[in-house]
A and B are shown apart, each in its own frame.
Chain A
Amino acid sequence: MPGIDKQKLRFKVENTQNLPTIPATLKNILNFLENSSISINKISDFISKDPVLTMKVLKMINSPVYGFPGRISSVNQAVLLLGLNVIKGMLLGVSVFELMQKAMTGLWEHSLGCAALSNLLAKKKGLKSPEDVTIAGLLHDIGKVLLAVNIPELYEKLIAATDKHGFTILEEENAVLGVNHAEVGSWIAKKWNFPNQLIEIIQFHHEAHKAKTANLECCIVHLSDVLIRAKGFGFAGDHFVPEVNQHAWDNIGLSEGDIKELLINMEESLEDYEELGA
């Protein structure tokens, strides 16, 4: 029995910046992202005005998760190099860090791990902009954060029930809410004017075969999500490995050796993950 009105939930989620529990900086960022006319200059100014935010963005860009060999020392340089959409995503990623940690212990680690694997896989597949896929890996579970801040007591119960029911968090959400974090994430990604590719990956990261415009990218994030959970890095809401999407598996076509290499490389890129966002 769905215990919640989907339209009401959507309204709540889309107006998350009005919640009393949201920190002031994040409110500003969410308001800013909602504005569809953000330009490269505007976003550089916005980030540069806030030294803490600047530091967080630079730390993230220079981290092994993105694999930039050189050190990027200014926000301007970062924006030019990565493009508006990646910076928008990163701005959100680093700013929801605290919220993510409060909402669900381990979700930040899960997201970072997924981002690191997505980055490695995107490069392996020769994609032109691996950073776009990396940011999608970082934000794929943003819907969980929104559920956790908008319906905290209920969401906590859902997480707690997964072990008892033998459900993944996705199944638990579908059963109780009649909607899941992937859909919730897509609501907000649309509201925040994220590019279609990112919206699609967030929406279909559990059903990669449904992604139309960014199918390979979506398959990459899906497989990264499964592999990072299989490895047991971070916590994504339950203790099970969700079933891998056959289409994604076939589409990416990794050998056993590839996967082992990927996991070892990821290990190295996440050794100093603790400093990210902190």
Chain B
Amino acid sequence: MPKISVEGLKPGMVISKPVFNENGVVILKENTELTENIINRLKKMEIEYVFVKGERKFSKTKEEMILEVEKRFERGQNKPLMENIKRIIKEHIEELYARNR
């Protein structure tokens, strides 16, 4: 569910979280498909960004993430509980990236 600035929206994208105006009133419901008209309206209302459906962009590759986990856990080597947590975190990262495929 990436967050996209209104400038970067294109017709056909689908809203993944309701959009509120400044008074807290819902102006676009979840699952609304964007059209040129709607995008222009959002721009006029000075809405900055919305959440749309689709893949999230990760700033790092999975391999980079895993390497960083190894580094963070360097001090926990030979401590079974910390080794255990490290493994769980690595599996969690695998899962996050697998979901996004």
Point out residues on A near B: beta carbons under 8 Å: 71, 73, 166, 168, 226-227, 229-232, 239-241, 243-244, 246, 249, 256, 259-260, 263-264, 267, 271-272, 274
Residues 59-101 of chain B, each 1 if its beta carbon lies under 8 Å from chain A, else 0: 0000001001101111110010110011011011001100000
CB-defined contacts of A73 to chain B, threshold 8 Å: 24
A240 CA / B82 CA spacing, docked (Å): 12
Q: Is the beta-carbon distance between B72 and A229 smaller than 8 angstroms?
A: yes
Also in contact, A241 and B75, with CB within 8 A (given A73-B24, A232-B69, A267-B96): yes
Of B17, B65, B72, most buried by chain A (CB within 10 Å of CB) is B72
- Chain B, residue nearest A274 (CB): B3
Contact status of A264 and B51, CB under 8 A, knowing A71-B24, A232-B65, A243-B82: no
Give chain A nearest CB distance to B52 CB in angstroms.
12
Residue of B nearest to A73 (CB): B24
- Tell yes or no: B38 within 8 A of A by CB: no
Which single member of B51, B68, B75 contacts A271 (CB below 8 Å)? B51
Contact indicator A244/B89 (Cβ below 8 Å) = no
Bound: A262/B81 CA distance, A: 18
Known: A230-B69, A232-B69. A264 touches B75 (CB 8 A): no
> How many whole Å from A76's CB to the nearest CB in chain B?
15
Do A256 and B74 touch (CB < 8 A)? no
Query: Cα distance A89–B63 when bound, in Å?
Result: 39
A residues less than 8 Å from B75 (CB atoms): 166, 168, 240-241, 243
Query: How many residues of B sit at the interface, in one of the four size bands?
Result: 20 to 34
Q: A71-B24, A241-B82 are in contact. Are A230 and B89 (CB under 8 A)?
A: yes
Q: Which residues of A contact B51 (CB under 8 A)?
A: 271-272
Residues of chain B contacted by A243 (CB below 8 angstroms): 75-76, 79, 82
Q: Can you give 14 A-B contacts (C-beta < 8 A)?
A: A166-B74, A230-B73, A232-B72, A240-B72, A240-B73, A241-B82, A243-B75, A243-B76, A243-B82, A244-B85, A259-B92, A260-B92, A263-B92, A271-B1
- A-contacting residues of B (Cβ < 8 Å)? 1, 3, 17, 24, 51, 65, 68-69, 71-76, 79, 81-82, 85-86, 88-89, 91-92, 95-96
| CB of B67 to closest CB in A, whole Å | 11
Contact between chains at A230 and B1 (CB < 8 Å): no
A45 CB, min distance to chain B CBs, angstroms: 22
B85 touching A239, Cβ below 8 Å? no
Residues of B close to A272: CB separation below 8 A: 3, 17, 51
A232 to B75, CA, bound (A): 15
Separation of A272 and B68 alpha carbons in the complex (Å): 24
Q: Please give, as numbers and ranges, the residues of chain B lying within 8 Å of A227 by CB-CB distance.
A: 85
Q: Is the CB of A260 within 8 A of B81?
A: no
Best-surrounded residue of A73, A229, A243, A246 (most CB of chain B within 10 A): A243
Give, as a whole number of angstroms, the nearest-CB distance from B2 to chain A. Answer: 9
Partner of A259, one of B68, B69, B71, B88: B88
Listed from nearest, the 10 A-B pairs whose CB atoms lie closest are A263-B92, A241-B72, A230-B89, A240-B75, A259-B88, A260-B92, A256-B88, A241-B73, A230-B85, A232-B68
